[in-house]
Amino acid sequence: MKLITAIIKPFKLDDVKDALKAAGVQGLTVSEVRGFGRQGGHSETYRGAEYKIDFVPKVRFELVVEDGAVDPVIAAIKAAASTGKIGDGKIWITDIDRLIRIRTGEEGPDAI
Amino acid sequence: MDAGSLTWVLVSAAMVLFMTPGLAFFYGGMDRERNVLNMLMMNFYCVLIVPVLWMILGYSLAQGGSGNFIGNFDFLFLDGIGILDDNGGQLATIAFLGMFAAITPALISGAVADRMKFSAWAIFVPLWLLLVYVPVFKWVYGGWLGDRGSLDFAGGTAIHVNAGIAALAAVLVLGKRKGWPKEGQPPHSMPLVMIGTGILWFGWFGFNAGSALAANGQATQAFMNTFLAAAAAGLVWVVVEWKRDGHPTNLGAASGIVAGLVAITPAAGYVSGAAPLVIGGIAGLVCCYAVKLKSKFLFDDALDVVGVHFVGGLVGSLLIGFFANPEFFDGTFEEGIFYGGDAGLLLEQAIANLSAIVWSFAITFVIMVVLKKTIGVRVDEQVETTGLDFGLHGESAYH
């Protein structure tokens, strides 16, 4: 089992969600986060004074999938989240030791 | 007072009351999210304390008797003011003027944002009202400045220049916000700023057109001037910053609208024709640059009370010297330079504003120093860093 974490542009939230559903994903978690990558932040001007906004709003997707589903999920996120412009975000994959469904107590892939 | 006029004055009074929450949102949106409730409370506090003081002694000291510098105690607790002889006209006027008294100290809150102790503000407002607002108001309306012939229709000198220069004195004693000007502190909610701007503009029709204290032609012209000057100033500000900074911003539009409203305030009942467009346009242009003064001279006027209210009020007040048109209003005031007058009126406008500036700056400075030496005026560093909302009021705006 793998945890897939993706940081994407906020306006791509629905596109990525739809792509993941189409790819057969049954559950996921999103959070509104802020951060910066190589693009740095951006600046905003108020009453002629420039303010550097270091942390740009992003959306973080988190979902756990079986090993075999990793590549199709990555492909779905990449296709849906890409604009080709700087700041499109990243995807990373983490090993999962245990996964437990709270209601039934099921463990492992059954709990996905 | 006839029924039509009474109705208009009462409606105007309610509209002016609404401006204080409008101002609170205008400032609150520009503030950071951890200090927005403190900003709202500083403003709402003014509509709690000022009406009480106004009734007890404020009105009497501001309008009682024929003194040149200060009123008297004839109307303490509004003693002797009935509703039978004049259809309630005087009482309506007292209510209307009380709303002005409430919003004037509230204007200063934008300058001291993010770092002033609420206990200090709670004492500052009544002291400032009685020691600065009330005497200056009397000088302008029924005292020596008005008698000399200077004009201030709805409070350019008595309210905006007065509060604007007081804001400068206050921040000089209070000191800069932690991190300013190095750290950026952009507005946390532009939608709040725009709602506040809309409420202010709406209320300002009562502020200016209501100042005719009658339902008549002068009120109508003041209404139209208020409409036009705000639009022209907002337009100019947006165009200037679009060209200068690259974007037409909401904050630029809002700031321009308010600058135009401030500038037309003293002139609203004395000018006509294209004058409101010119006065608004000049105010938009000048204030758009004036808000940069604080970075140059390093006084931390957090939300630009000096740049918008002081400068805007001064611009409008001085321009009366050019645009006053007594013939149009069938009025007894002097003509401006463009309508056949000499520089006499302009000189009176300068004297009136200079007098208000000197008194307001000096007394505000003294009040702030006394507060600083006694109860202290600044929140401690931890409260300033973590937020005044929770630190001073035990509340949070957003969860």
A-chain residues near B292 (CB < 8 A):
48-49
Tokens of B73: 């105690």
Distances (CA, A) of B218 to B204, B211, B270: 15, 9, 8
Alpha helices in chain B (DSSP H): 3-30, 36-53, 59-63, 89-108, 118-128, 134-140, 144-148, 162-174, 190-209, 217-245, 250-264, 275-290, 293-297, 305, 311-323, 326-329, 344-374, 381-386, 388-393
Contact A47 B246 (CB under 8 A): no
ipTM confidence: 0.76
For the segment B191-213, what is each residue's pLDDT rounded down to a tens digit? 999 999 999 999 999 999 999 99
Name residue B20's amino acid: T
Mean pLDDT of chain A: 93
* Binding-site residues on chain B for chain A (CB distance < 8 A): 184-187, 241, 244-247, 249, 251-252, 255, 288, 291-292, 295, 304
In percent, the amount of chain B with pLDDT more than 70 equals 100
| Cβ within 8 Å of residue B82, ≥6 positions away | none
Contact B187 A52 (CB under 8 A): no
3-state secondary structure of B116: strand
Compute the nearest-CA separation of A106 from chain B (Å).
Answer: 34
Chain A interface, best mutation among B238, B249, B286, by max A CB count within 10 A: B249
Domain covering B3-393 assigned CATH 3.40.50.300 in the classification: no
Contact A51 B186 (CB under 8 A): yes
Task: State residue A67's pLDDT score.
Answer: 94
In contact, A23 and A72? CB cutoff 8 Å: yes
Tokens of B352: 């009136």
Contact B251 A44 (CB under 8 A): no
Task: State residue A25's pLDDT score.
Answer: 93
In contact, B148 and B334? CB cutoff 8 Å: no
What does the alpha-carbon distance between residue B314 and residue B157 come to, in Å, rounded to a whole number?
A: 7
Contact B185 A51 (CB under 8 A): yes
In Å, how far from its chain's centre is CA B259?
A: 11
A-chain residues near B291 (CB < 8 A):
47-48
B-chain residues near A44 (CB < 8 A):
186
Specify the higher pLDDT residue, B280 or B185: B280
Compute the nearest-CA separation of B62 from chain A (Å).
Answer: 36
For the segment B101-134, what is each residue's pLDDT rounded down to a tens digit? 999 999 999 999 999 999 999 999 999 999 999 9
| Cβ within 8 Å of residue B363, ≥6 positions away | B131, B132
What does the alpha-carbon distance between residue B96 and residue B17 come to, in Å, rounded to a whole number?
A: 9
User: Which of A78-87, B87-96, B364-373 comes out lowest in average pLDDT?
Assistant: A78-87
Tokens of A17: 């969600």
Find the residue in B nearest to A52 (Cα): B184
pTM: 0.91
- Which of B244, B249, B288 comes nearest A46 by C-beta? B249
Contact B185 A47 (CB under 8 A): no
DSSP-assigned beta bridge partners for residue A7: A60, A90
Tell me the residue length of chain A: 112
B-chain residues near A52 (CB < 8 A):
184
B-chain residues near A48 (CB < 8 A):
241, 244-245, 288, 291-292
Query: Which domains are delineated in chain A?
Result: 2-99 (3.30.70.120)
Contact B304 A53 (CB under 8 A): no
Compute the nearest-CA separation of B252 from chain A (Å).
Answer: 6
Task: State residue B182's pLDDT score.
Answer: 84
B294-310 in b/e form (b: 16+ CB < 10 A) is beeeebbbbbbbbbbbb
B-chain residues near A42 (CB < 8 A):
none
Tokens of B71: 């009123």
In contact, B107 and B301? CB cutoff 8 Å: no
Tell me: pLDDT of B220 over 80.
Answer: yes
Find the residue in A nearest to B307 (Cα): A47
Tell me: pLDDT of A15 over 90.
Answer: yes
For the segment A55-99, what is each residue's pLDDT rounded down to a tens digit? 889 999 999 999 999 999 999 999 999 999 888 999 999 999 999
In Å, how far from its chain's centre is CA B201?
A: 13
Task: State residue A50's pLDDT score.
Answer: 84
Task: Return residues 26-85 of A near B (CB < 8 Å).
Answer: 44-53
A-chain residues near B247 (CB < 8 A):
45
Q: CA angle, corner B360, sides to B152 and B117, nearest 5?
A: 125
Dihedral sign from CA coordinates of B331, B212, B310, B242: negative
| Cβ within 8 Å of residue B122, ≥6 positions away | B45, B49
